[in-house]
Homo-oligomer: A and B are copies of this chain.
Amino acid sequence: MNQKIRIGINGYGNLGRGVESALKQNKDMELVAIFSRRDPESVETLDPSTKVLHISEAEKYKDEIDVMILCGGSATDLPEQGPRFAKLFNTIDSFDTHAKIPEYFSAVDEGAKSGNKTSIISVGWDPGMFSMNRLLGEAVLPEGETYTFWGKGLSQGHSDAIRRVEGVKAGVQYTIPIEEAVNRVRRGENPELSTREKHLRECFVVTEDGADKEKIEHEIKTMPNYFADYDTTVNFISEEELNKNHSKMLHGGFVIRSGITGENTNQIVEYSLKLDSNPEFTSSILVTYARAAYKMNQDGQTGAKTVFDVPLGHLSPKSPEQLRKELL
Protein backbone atom coordinates (compact mmCIF):
# COMPACT_ATOMS: atom_id res chain seq x y z
CA MET A 1 0.00 0.00 0.00
CA ASN A 2 1.08 3.56 -0.68
CA GLN A 3 2.03 5.90 2.10
CA LYS A 4 -0.97 7.50 3.76
CA ILE A 5 -1.86 11.14 3.23
CA ARG A 6 -0.79 12.95 6.38
CA ILE A 7 -3.43 15.37 7.68
CA GLY A 8 -3.37 18.19 10.21
CA ILE A 9 -6.42 19.86 11.70
CA ASN A 10 -6.28 23.52 12.63
CA GLY A 11 -9.05 24.56 15.01
CA TYR A 12 -11.03 22.15 17.14
CA GLY A 13 -14.70 23.09 17.33
CA ASN A 14 -17.62 21.15 15.81
CA LEU A 15 -15.91 21.11 12.42
CA GLY A 16 -12.51 20.00 13.69
CA ARG A 17 -14.13 17.27 15.73
CA GLY A 18 -16.03 16.16 12.61
CA VAL A 19 -12.78 15.98 10.65
CA GLU A 20 -11.14 13.87 13.35
CA SER A 21 -14.09 11.51 13.14
CA ALA A 22 -14.27 11.44 9.31
CA LEU A 23 -10.55 10.64 8.99
CA LYS A 24 -11.20 7.32 10.73
CA GLN A 25 -13.47 6.37 7.81
CA ASN A 26 -10.76 7.03 5.23
CA LYS A 27 -8.04 4.39 5.29
CA ASP A 28 -5.71 6.26 2.94
CA MET A 29 -5.27 9.14 5.39
CA GLU A 30 -3.86 9.59 8.85
CA LEU A 31 -4.18 12.36 11.40
CA VAL A 32 -0.81 13.78 12.48
CA ALA A 33 -1.99 16.39 14.96
CA ILE A 34 -4.65 18.91 15.92
CA PHE A 35 -3.52 22.51 16.35
CA SER A 36 -5.44 24.80 18.64
CA ARG A 37 -5.19 28.29 20.08
CA ARG A 38 -6.22 26.87 23.42
CA ASP A 39 -3.92 25.23 25.92
CA PRO A 40 -3.39 21.79 24.30
CA GLU A 41 -3.85 20.11 27.68
CA SER A 42 -7.39 21.47 27.86
CA VAL A 43 -8.52 20.13 24.47
CA GLU A 44 -10.57 16.95 24.77
CA THR A 45 -10.35 15.01 21.52
CA LEU A 46 -12.73 12.25 20.41
CA ASP A 47 -9.83 9.81 20.36
CA PRO A 48 -7.74 10.31 23.51
CA SER A 49 -4.60 9.24 21.63
CA THR A 50 -4.84 12.16 19.15
CA LYS A 51 -1.92 14.54 19.45
CA VAL A 52 -2.87 18.15 20.26
CA LEU A 53 -0.41 21.00 19.82
CA HIS A 54 -0.52 24.74 20.17
CA ILE A 55 -1.12 26.54 16.89
CA SER A 56 2.26 28.27 17.27
CA GLU A 57 3.91 24.88 16.65
CA ALA A 58 2.26 24.37 13.26
CA GLU A 59 5.10 25.70 11.13
CA LYS A 60 7.46 23.06 12.55
CA TYR A 61 5.22 20.41 10.99
CA LYS A 62 5.66 21.80 7.49
CA ASP A 63 7.28 18.57 6.26
CA GLU A 64 5.25 16.19 8.43
CA ILE A 65 1.82 17.21 7.14
CA ASP A 66 0.59 16.89 3.53
CA VAL A 67 -2.69 18.74 3.96
CA MET A 68 -3.84 21.07 6.72
CA ILE A 69 -7.60 21.26 7.12
CA LEU A 70 -8.52 24.70 8.41
CA CYS A 71 -11.56 24.43 10.67
CA GLY A 72 -11.79 28.04 11.84
CA GLY A 73 -14.63 30.45 11.15
CA SER A 74 -15.05 32.70 8.13
CA ALA A 75 -15.52 35.93 10.06
CA THR A 76 -12.10 36.36 11.65
CA ASP A 77 -10.09 33.09 11.64
CA LEU A 78 -9.83 32.20 7.96
CA PRO A 79 -9.12 35.66 6.49
CA GLU A 80 -5.93 35.63 8.56
CA GLN A 81 -5.12 31.89 8.71
CA GLY A 82 -6.03 30.95 5.13
CA PRO A 83 -3.33 32.94 3.31
CA ARG A 84 -0.75 32.30 6.06
CA PHE A 85 -1.17 28.51 6.16
CA ALA A 86 -1.38 28.33 2.35
CA LYS A 87 2.32 29.23 2.18
CA LEU A 88 3.26 26.26 4.37
CA PHE A 89 0.78 23.49 3.59
CA ASN A 90 -1.74 22.32 1.06
CA THR A 91 -4.94 23.50 2.71
CA ILE A 92 -8.69 22.98 2.72
CA ASP A 93 -11.16 25.39 4.26
CA SER A 94 -14.89 26.07 4.35
CA PHE A 95 -14.79 29.85 3.88
CA ASP A 96 -18.45 30.76 3.39
CA THR A 97 -18.79 34.54 3.37
CA HIS A 98 -20.14 34.57 -0.20
CA ALA A 99 -19.51 38.25 -0.87
CA LYS A 100 -15.85 38.05 0.13
CA ILE A 101 -14.90 34.91 -1.79
CA PRO A 102 -13.13 36.70 -4.68
CA GLU A 103 -10.95 38.70 -2.27
CA TYR A 104 -10.22 35.66 -0.08
CA PHE A 105 -9.38 33.58 -3.15
CA SER A 106 -6.76 36.13 -4.25
CA ALA A 107 -5.10 36.26 -0.85
CA VAL A 108 -4.93 32.46 -0.55
CA ASP A 109 -3.79 32.12 -4.16
CA GLU A 110 -0.84 34.41 -3.52
CA GLY A 111 0.15 32.49 -0.41
CA ALA A 112 -0.20 29.06 -2.02
CA LYS A 113 1.73 30.03 -5.14
CA SER A 114 4.59 31.46 -3.10
CA GLY A 115 4.89 28.14 -1.27
CA ASN A 116 4.15 25.88 -4.25
CA LYS A 117 1.14 24.57 -2.43
CA THR A 118 -2.47 23.80 -3.39
CA SER A 119 -5.35 25.29 -1.41
CA ILE A 120 -8.98 24.44 -2.06
CA ILE A 121 -11.21 27.09 -0.53
CA SER A 122 -14.93 27.29 0.27
CA VAL A 123 -15.42 23.53 0.52
CA GLY A 124 -18.55 22.08 2.13
CA TRP A 125 -22.14 21.77 1.02
CA ASP A 126 -23.00 25.44 0.50
CA PRO A 127 -20.65 26.71 -0.75
CA GLY A 128 -19.55 23.36 -2.14
CA MET A 129 -21.88 20.57 -3.27
CA PHE A 130 -24.72 23.05 -3.84
CA SER A 131 -22.43 25.33 -5.88
CA MET A 132 -21.42 22.39 -8.07
CA ASN A 133 -25.05 21.58 -8.70
CA ARG A 134 -25.88 25.21 -9.49
CA LEU A 135 -23.06 25.18 -12.05
CA LEU A 136 -24.05 21.82 -13.54
CA GLY A 137 -27.69 22.83 -13.71
CA GLU A 138 -27.19 26.00 -15.68
CA ALA A 139 -24.48 24.49 -17.89
CA VAL A 140 -26.64 21.54 -18.95
CA LEU A 141 -29.95 23.44 -19.09
CA PRO A 142 -29.02 26.99 -20.16
CA GLU A 143 -32.68 28.01 -20.51
CA GLY A 144 -34.16 27.66 -17.07
CA GLU A 145 -34.09 28.74 -13.44
CA THR A 146 -32.05 27.58 -10.47
CA TYR A 147 -33.61 27.44 -7.02
CA THR A 148 -31.74 26.86 -3.77
CA PHE A 149 -33.75 26.00 -0.67
CA TRP A 150 -32.22 25.43 2.75
CA GLY A 151 -33.58 23.35 5.59
CA LYS A 152 -35.28 22.13 7.46
CA GLY A 153 -32.25 22.99 9.49
CA LEU A 154 -30.73 24.71 12.42
CA SER A 155 -29.04 27.93 11.38
CA GLN A 156 -26.08 28.82 13.57
CA GLY A 157 -26.04 32.48 12.50
CA HIS A 158 -29.72 33.03 13.19
CA SER A 159 -29.56 31.18 16.49
CA ASP A 160 -26.70 33.46 17.53
CA ALA A 161 -28.78 36.49 16.54
CA ILE A 162 -31.65 35.36 18.79
CA ARG A 163 -29.31 34.88 21.70
CA ARG A 164 -28.10 38.46 21.41
CA VAL A 165 -31.62 39.80 22.16
CA GLU A 166 -31.96 41.19 25.67
CA GLY A 167 -33.79 38.84 28.02
CA VAL A 168 -33.00 35.74 25.93
CA LYS A 169 -31.14 33.04 27.84
CA ALA A 170 -30.90 30.47 25.06
CA GLY A 171 -32.50 29.67 21.72
CA VAL A 172 -32.32 28.04 18.33
CA GLN A 173 -33.68 28.92 14.93
CA TYR A 174 -34.83 26.58 12.17
CA THR A 175 -34.90 27.58 8.53
CA ILE A 176 -37.82 25.81 6.83
CA PRO A 177 -38.46 25.74 3.09
CA ILE A 178 -42.07 26.52 2.24
CA GLU A 179 -43.58 23.37 0.79
CA GLU A 180 -45.91 25.11 -1.65
CA ALA A 181 -42.96 26.97 -3.19
CA VAL A 182 -40.90 23.79 -3.44
CA ASN A 183 -43.79 21.94 -5.07
CA ARG A 184 -44.30 24.68 -7.64
CA VAL A 185 -40.62 24.47 -8.57
CA ARG A 186 -40.72 20.67 -8.75
CA ARG A 187 -43.71 20.88 -11.07
CA GLY A 188 -41.65 22.96 -13.47
CA GLU A 189 -43.63 26.18 -13.05
CA ASN A 190 -40.46 28.30 -12.75
CA PRO A 191 -42.12 30.74 -10.36
CA GLU A 192 -40.62 34.04 -9.25
CA LEU A 193 -40.35 33.70 -5.50
CA SER A 194 -39.72 36.44 -2.96
CA THR A 195 -37.58 35.80 0.11
CA ARG A 196 -40.74 35.47 2.20
CA GLU A 197 -42.25 32.94 -0.18
CA LYS A 198 -39.26 30.59 -0.06
CA HIS A 199 -38.48 30.06 3.62
CA LEU A 200 -40.06 30.31 7.07
CA ARG A 201 -38.09 30.95 10.24
CA GLU A 202 -39.10 29.17 13.42
CA CYS A 203 -37.51 30.14 16.74
CA PHE A 204 -37.44 28.31 20.07
CA VAL A 205 -36.49 30.68 22.85
CA VAL A 206 -35.69 30.30 26.56
CA THR A 207 -36.03 33.60 28.44
CA GLU A 208 -34.34 34.95 31.54
CA ASP A 209 -36.60 35.09 34.62
CA GLY A 210 -38.98 38.02 34.40
CA ALA A 211 -38.16 38.90 30.78
CA ASP A 212 -40.77 40.69 28.63
CA LYS A 213 -41.74 37.98 26.14
CA GLU A 214 -43.83 40.26 23.97
CA LYS A 215 -40.91 42.64 23.59
CA ILE A 216 -38.53 39.77 22.77
CA GLU A 217 -40.88 38.36 20.15
CA HIS A 218 -41.26 41.78 18.55
CA GLU A 219 -37.52 42.38 18.58
CA ILE A 220 -36.78 39.03 16.91
CA LYS A 221 -39.48 39.35 14.26
CA THR A 222 -38.41 42.83 13.20
CA MET A 223 -34.65 42.23 13.25
CA PRO A 224 -33.28 43.47 9.89
CA ASN A 225 -31.41 41.01 7.60
CA TYR A 226 -32.10 38.07 9.91
CA PHE A 227 -35.90 37.97 10.36
CA ALA A 228 -37.71 41.04 9.06
CA ASP A 229 -38.07 39.72 5.50
CA TYR A 230 -39.50 36.37 6.61
CA ASP A 231 -42.60 34.99 8.27
CA THR A 232 -41.14 34.18 11.65
CA THR A 233 -42.70 32.30 14.53
CA VAL A 234 -41.35 32.53 18.07
CA ASN A 235 -42.04 29.74 20.57
CA PHE A 236 -41.12 30.18 24.22
CA ILE A 237 -40.01 26.94 25.83
CA SER A 238 -38.23 25.75 28.95
CA GLU A 239 -34.51 25.13 29.11
CA GLU A 240 -35.16 21.40 29.62
CA GLU A 241 -37.23 21.22 26.45
CA LEU A 242 -34.57 23.09 24.50
CA ASN A 243 -31.87 20.68 25.60
CA LYS A 244 -34.04 17.64 25.02
CA ASN A 245 -35.52 18.44 21.61
CA HIS A 246 -33.31 21.01 19.96
CA SER A 247 -29.69 20.01 20.45
CA LYS A 248 -29.18 18.17 17.14
CA MET A 249 -27.50 20.15 14.40
CA LEU A 250 -29.69 18.80 11.64
CA HIS A 251 -29.80 20.54 8.31
CA GLY A 252 -30.34 19.99 4.62
CA GLY A 253 -31.82 21.57 1.57
CA PHE A 254 -31.99 21.27 -2.20
CA VAL A 255 -30.82 22.80 -5.42
CA ILE A 256 -33.34 22.48 -8.24
CA ARG A 257 -32.68 23.36 -11.85
CA SER A 258 -35.82 23.53 -13.92
CA GLY A 259 -35.14 23.99 -17.61
CA ILE A 260 -36.53 23.66 -21.07
CA THR A 261 -34.99 21.83 -24.02
CA GLY A 262 -36.28 21.53 -27.58
CA GLU A 263 -39.96 22.20 -28.02
CA ASN A 264 -40.93 23.26 -24.48
CA THR A 265 -39.83 20.03 -22.92
CA ASN A 266 -39.51 20.30 -19.13
CA GLN A 267 -36.41 18.84 -17.54
CA ILE A 268 -35.98 18.94 -13.77
CA VAL A 269 -32.77 18.17 -11.90
CA GLU A 270 -32.71 18.10 -8.13
CA TYR A 271 -29.91 17.61 -5.64
CA SER A 272 -31.00 17.25 -2.04
CA LEU A 273 -29.49 16.68 1.37
CA LYS A 274 -31.07 15.40 4.58
CA LEU A 275 -28.46 15.68 7.30
CA ASP A 276 -28.63 14.58 10.91
CA SER A 277 -25.42 16.50 11.53
CA ASN A 278 -24.51 19.54 9.51
CA PRO A 279 -20.94 19.89 10.87
CA GLU A 280 -20.15 16.18 10.46
CA PHE A 281 -21.29 16.23 6.83
CA THR A 282 -19.27 19.36 6.10
CA SER A 283 -16.24 17.76 7.76
CA SER A 284 -16.62 14.64 5.63
CA ILE A 285 -16.51 16.81 2.52
CA LEU A 286 -13.42 18.66 3.78
CA VAL A 287 -11.62 15.35 4.22
CA THR A 288 -12.57 14.20 0.72
CA TYR A 289 -11.18 17.40 -0.79
CA ALA A 290 -7.97 17.03 1.25
CA ARG A 291 -7.32 13.98 -0.91
CA ALA A 292 -7.87 16.07 -4.04
CA ALA A 293 -5.59 18.89 -2.85
CA TYR A 294 -2.84 16.35 -2.25
CA LYS A 295 -3.22 14.82 -5.72
CA MET A 296 -3.45 18.18 -7.49
CA ASN A 297 -0.31 19.35 -5.72
CA GLN A 298 1.50 16.21 -6.83
CA ASP A 299 0.38 17.03 -10.39
CA GLY A 300 1.94 20.48 -10.02
CA GLN A 301 -1.40 22.33 -9.92
CA THR A 302 -0.56 24.94 -7.32
CA GLY A 303 -2.39 28.03 -6.08
CA ALA A 304 -5.92 28.56 -4.82
CA LYS A 305 -8.66 26.32 -6.21
CA THR A 306 -12.36 25.85 -5.64
CA VAL A 307 -14.68 22.87 -6.08
CA PHE A 308 -15.07 24.03 -9.69
CA ASP A 309 -11.41 23.24 -10.43
CA VAL A 310 -11.30 19.69 -9.07
CA PRO A 311 -11.83 16.67 -11.34
CA LEU A 312 -14.21 14.43 -9.37
CA GLY A 313 -11.94 11.41 -9.74
CA HIS A 314 -9.42 13.09 -7.43
CA LEU A 315 -11.96 12.86 -4.60
CA SER A 316 -11.93 9.09 -4.54
CA PRO A 317 -9.27 6.77 -3.13
CA LYS A 318 -9.91 4.49 -6.12
CA SER A 319 -7.72 4.50 -9.23
CA PRO A 320 -9.05 5.95 -12.50
CA GLU A 321 -9.27 2.38 -13.91
CA GLN A 322 -11.27 1.21 -10.92
CA LEU A 323 -13.59 4.21 -11.09
CA ARG A 324 -14.32 3.62 -14.77
CA LYS A 325 -14.99 -0.04 -14.13
CA GLU A 326 -17.04 0.25 -10.95
CA LEU A 327 -18.78 3.59 -10.93
CA LEU A 328 -19.20 4.89 -14.49
Contact = CB atoms under 8 A, between A and B. Distances in A.
Interface string A133-147: 011101111110000
A315 interface: yes
Interface in A180-236: 186
Given A98-B328, A281-B267, A311 B313 contact: no
Contact of A136 (B265, B272, B312): B312
Interface in A280-328: 280-281, 283-285, 288, 291, 306-313, 315-317, 320-321, 323-325, 327-328
A133 B143 CA distance: 23
Copy count, this protein chain: 2
Interface in A63-108: 98, 101-102, 105
B262 A21 contact: yes
A50 interface: no
A140 B277 contact: no
Contacts of A138: 316, 327
B268 A139 contact: no
A285 B140 contact: yes
Given A269-B273, A328-B122, A312 B140 contact: no
B328 A131 contact: yes
Contacts of A21: 261-262
Contact of A310 (B291, B311, B325): B311
Contacts of A285: 140
A280 B268 CA distance: 12
22 contacts: A127-B328, A129-B269, A131-B327, A134-B327, A139-B291, A139-B315, A140-B288, A140-B315, A261-B277, A261-B281, A261-B284, A262-B277, A267-B274, A270-B273, A271-B271, A271-B272, A272-B272, A306-B313, A307-B312, A308-B312, A308-B320, A308-B323
Interface of A: 18, 21-22, 25-26, 98, 101-102, 105, 122, 127, 129, 131-132, 134-136, 138-143, 186, 261-262, 265-277, 280-281, 283-285, 288, 291, 306-313, 315-317, 320-321, 323-325, 327-328
